[in-house]
Amino acid sequence: MERGHNLFAIYETLNAHFGDLNWWPGNSPFEVIVGAILTQNTAWRNVEKAIANLKSKKLLHPARILGIDDSTLADLIRPAGYYNIKTGRLKSFVRFLYDEFGGKLDNMFVEDLWDLRAKLLTVKGIGEETADSILLYAGEKPIFVIDAYTRRILQRHDIIRSDATYKEIQNLFMTRLPHSVPLYNQYHALFVNTGKYFCTRKPRCEGCPLPKPVY
């Protein structure tokens, strides 16, 4: 899997370049969860528009999401794309929240990290990345989020195999770094920014803060 690379050196290099990124944007844990579900297969700017629509109707609350009809909700989140599918996913999560935890996020987040992760993965439309984003950014639980940017950067720097699984990549970080919410939060945000501005589909290596090797 990995070849002795210094994950702290990678973090320090990216952190020195980008600084504190204050990710994930959201004014409440539920807003973060909604964002995590809506951001699947779309750019964050589109999610922001959808969330602004929900806020304008005072709908960023589990009970209000559950109570609104599907067509109205779909229209409000239309900017995020796949709006009918994502309407179903939001409703599925909220039903899960009520069925398992009485509709209260506080009840949900007192659960053991790995037990709650397993439960979240049973919710239709919530995969590993979305579940881990909910756990880290809304629940403030120490779990490392793996996304396409992270995988692309690690592959291009020969840190992982092309066929590495989500769990293998996650374990790379969680067995070598302290289990720290602020560290995992910022590290993931640094990968996102590196992927957006430098390690794009067609790489822009000139000026990249992560030359080979920094580790």
Residue 73 falls within a domain, yes or no?
Answer: yes
Under a CB-based contact definition with an 8 Å cutoff, are residues 6 and 12 in contact? no
Residue 177 falls within a domain, yes or no?
Answer: yes
Residue 150 falls within a domain, yes or no?
Answer: yes
User: Same structural domain for residues 16 and 113?
Assistant: no
Under a CB-based contact definition with an 8 Å cutoff, are residues 184 and 7 in contact? no
User: Same structural domain for residues 133 and 33?
Assistant: yes
State CA 14 to chain mean position distance: 19
User: Same structural domain for residues 110 and 158?
Assistant: no
pLDDT tens readout for residues 167-179: 999 999 999 999 9
Confidence class for position 91, pLDDT limits 50, 70, 90: very high
Residue 64 falls within a domain, yes or no?
Answer: yes
Answer with the one of 138, 159, 189 that is the final residue of a domain. 138
Using CB atoms within 10 Å of the CB of residue 108, give its burial: 0 to 12 exposed, 13 to 18 middle, 19+ buried: buried
Under a CB-based contact definition with an 8 Å cutoff, are residues 62 and 97 in contact? yes
Range(s) of the domain holding residue 188:
7-22+144-197
Answer with the one of 138, 157, 174 that is the final residue of a domain. 138
Using CB atoms within 10 Å of the CB of residue 185, give its burial: 0 to 12 exposed, 13 to 18 middle, 19+ buried: buried
d(CA 168, CA 142): 17
Residue 109 falls within a domain, yes or no?
Answer: yes
Answer with the one of 89, 105, 138 that is the final residue of a domain. 138
User: Same structural domain for residues 65 and 107?
Assistant: yes
Q: Angle at Cα 182 formed by Cα 178 and Cα 188, nearest 5°?
A: 90
pLDDT tens readout for residues 178-206: 999 999 999 999 999 999 999 998 988 88
Residue 33 falls within a domain, yes or no?
Answer: yes
pLDDT tens readout for residues 97-151: 999 999 999 999 999 999 999 999 999 999 999 999 999 999 999 999 999 999 9
Q: Angle 29-38/83-101 helices, nearest 10 degrees?
A: 140
In the numeric block, the tokens 């993931």 are attached to 188
Confidence class for position 27, pLDDT limits 50, 70, 90: confident
Q: What is the number of residues in the chain?
A: 215
Range with top average pLDDT, 39-43, 158-162, 166-170: 166-170
Q: Angle at Cα 18 formed by Cα 13 and Cα 23, nearest 5°?
A: 115
